[in-house]
Each structure stands twice: as C-alpha cells, then as structure tokens.
Chains A and B, each alone.
Chain A
C-alpha cells in the first residue's frame, strides 16, 4: 500500500527566502504525485502534479517540484516566499489506472505542512 510522509509539520521562512517542503512516498509502482494547498477556511487547490511526463514539474504561483525515483521524494520548492504563500500544504499519492479500469483514483495524503512566512 502506498503512503506519504511529509517531514516537518511546520515550516517558517522569511519573505523572499527559499521555500522547501519535503515529501517522501512509498509505492510498489511509480505513482502519480500531487501537491495541494489549503488556505485558511478553504478547500484544497491543486498546485501541481507529476504524471511521469517530466521529472521537474512546474505549478501555479512559481512553485515547482522534482520527482526523484531513487530517493522516493517529491519535494516542493519556491525560490522566493511571499506573504500570500502562508497556508497548509499537502502531498498526495495516487495509483495509476490498472488494466481492468477499476482503479478509482484514491489519493493518500500526507499529514500536511503549515507554512508560515515572516515579513
């Protein structure tokens, strides 16, 4: 069964600093991987996703993530943090569809990382 571990439940950075949120997964087959963001009192929004087309994935708001199979990681980065990036971030893993088409696209989420951005 797949699982997702996000290292660090809280990350604090200064405005303009590099953002690095860590995600490691375990899966018996190459998965699909996602990063979602949740702003206070809102639902989850997709930031970016990896579907095996390219290992470096670019998302919205200058976020990007790199799939590293050898490290089973999918860390999220942003070169320069903005105050509006303060939110909770979730990494998630999903299986690819199987031959019988019975995969329902179940997502397994990490525990979440709360990002705080200081002026």
Chain B
C-alpha cells in the first residue's frame, strides 16, 4: 500500500494564480482532511470530508475550496493565491467513526510558496 500520497511536493505561485493539490489514499478510508502547518502553530484543519461527495469547513477554510468526487481522492483548490497561504499542506485520512481512536494517516506534505 502506498498509504496517503500528495501531488505536487513543491510549488511556487505568484499572487492571484490558482492551483489544485491532489491527495490520494489507497486504504479505503471514509474520512479525509486537509491541514496547513505554519511555524509555532501546529496543524490547523482547513476542510474535511466524511465520505465521497461530502465536504465541510474546518478551522481556517477561507481562500480554499475542496472536492471529494471519488472516495480515494480529496482535492484542495486555491482560486486566487495570497502570500498568507504560503505554508506546508498535509492531507490525512482515517477509518470511519465505528473504530476507536480516529487515528489519522498523513501524507508527506506539499510545500507551497506564494510570492
């Protein structure tokens, strides 16, 4: 199993440009999440999904959109990038609520710089 993969690994954008980050998991997980990581702030939840075709806002959703058209994929879009979106983005997935612990499995991250 590849686990959770993210594409691309690095990206540099100019202010106002758009892009999509792709997350894929091969563990048949229902739940998927997008986080951003900034120094000294831990990880903050951007958006999440509890199943194919569903999405919901997390703590810091402004400026981002997501889609979950297929169970194994979770896309994060930036329509008009801003320097404040310079960050490392992590995707994660987990089993359904029927299991204890909600352990999340993380991808390797995408480092995004907006100039």
Contact = CB atoms under 8 A, between A and B. Distances in A.
Interface of A: 4, 9, 32, 34, 36, 41-46, 49, 51, 90, 94, 97, 101, 103-107, 109-112
Nearest to A103: B97
B106 A44 contact: yes
A45 B98 CA distance: 22
Counting chain B CB atoms within 10 Å of each CB, the highest count among A9, A45, A107, A112 belongs to A107
6 contacts: A34-B103, A43-B108, A44-B43, A44-B90, A46-B104, A104-B56
Contacts, number: 65
A105 B97 contact: yes
B97 A112 contact: no
B93 to A, nearest CB: 10
A22 B109 CA distance: 26
Given A42-B109, A43-B108, A104-B31, A32 B101 contact: yes
- The binding surface of chain B is classed by DSSP as loop
B42 A109 contact: yes
Given A43-B90, A103-B97, A90 B42 contact: yes
B53 to A, nearest CB: 15
A4 B48 CA distance: 20
